[in-house]
Amino acid sequence: MIDPVAAFIYKQLEKKAPLPPEDTIATYRYLDRGHVDSIGLIKFIFEIEDEFQIQFASEETQSDEFRTIGGLISIIRRKMAEQSE
């Protein structure tokens, strides 16, 4: 069963274009592949922040981890865990 964070991210990205096979999705570099453009990225970030009630720091959105789907999901989960502490 897919977790809600991953499901949300997949759904948002699939609005733009099909995602790669599941066995490579975690390492898929959605920004480098043009899956989300620079203007779309701002909207994407706001959608994530609104959905999960988190706020990204600029260094997080500029990190290499943020550039992959798996990394983005990890950042979101970490931020959610920090909020629940």
CA 48 to chain centre: 7
Q: Euclidean distance between the first and final Cα of the chain, in Å?
A: 26
* pLDDT of the residue at 1: 59
Q: Looking at the predicted structure, is the pLDDT value of residue 84 above 90?
A: no
Q: Read off the DSSP letter of residue 32.
A: T
Mean pLDDT of 19-47: 93
CATH of the domain at 27: 1.10.1200.10
Q: Exposed (0-12), middle (13-18) or buried (19+): which is 14, by Cβ within 10 Å?
A: exposed
* pLDDT of the residue at 81: 94
The tally of domains found in the chain comes to 1
Residue 68's nearest CA partner among 40, 29, 33, 16 is 29
Domain limits for position 80: 4-84
Q: What is the pLDDT of residues 34-83, one digit of tens each?
A: 899 888 999 999 999 999 999 999 999 999 999 999 999 999 999 999 98
pLDDT grade, residue 4 (50/70/90)? Answer: very high
Residue 65's nearest CA partner among 34, 27, 39 is 27
* pLDDT of the residue at 59: 96
